[in-house]
A = this chain, B = another copy of it.
Amino acid sequence: MQIITEDIDTAELARRRALYGPLTEAVRELIDATIRTEVDDDVVRQVHADIAAATAKLRARQLDGAYGARKTTAGEHMSWGNAAMGLRNAIAPPLVVKADADGRRWAEFTLGAAYEGPPGLVHGGVCALVLDHVLGATASSVTFSFTGTLTLRYRRGTPLGLLRAEARVDRVEGRKTIVVGTLSDAGGVTVEAEGNFISPAV
């Protein structure tokens, strides 16, 4: 896997976080407002023009393709384009995966209108996205791995709002790491997941 090294120090990394994090958060708010707005047509058209102008400013100089995987010379990871955790990706909730002392991984996050499937519920595929990511991060805490298989059991609808995903390594079999996890709301587990993650042959 190709990882680009950014020749920047920790202070510069912090400066970039403070610049791009709030921009991305503003775009997340815009996504939500685009779904929920009920303003008059002329305002919608005016906002459309405003957004197109903002995009043109950003595109004046840009990467040729996707963001890719980057790290600093000090080894700090910058998965800023990632669809689940990316600091610069407004599609990402974003997930921040934390580790407990016993190795369990978890993330707490809020999913709003942009993640809806059935009315008032998280899209089943978004539940899958979140669980793939948290289980994958758990597997990669053992060794860097790609998803091999992922099985999801939907016990009930997952309401939009504050949610928690957690995962733990169940067992390691050669190049396979088997991880189990859950997605929950305040009332308990809504989706169970088991993933079989495979580390690339060296």
Contacts and interface: CB of A to CB of B under 8 A. Distances in A.
Could you say which of A1, A45, A60, A90 has the most chain B C-beta atoms within 10 Å of its C-beta?
A90
Interface in A46-105: 46-48, 50-55, 57-63, 65-69, 80-84, 86, 88-91
Contacts of A2: 119-120
**Oligomeric state, in number of copies?**
2
9 contacts: A2-B120, A20-B44, A35-B89, A36-B63, A43-B57, A50-B54, A83-B115, A91-B114, A124-B146
Interface of A: 1-3, 19-20, 22-24, 26-27, 29-31, 33-39, 41, 43-48, 50-55, 57-63, 65-69, 80-84, 86, 88-91, 112-120, 123-126, 128-133, 136, 146-154, 157, 160
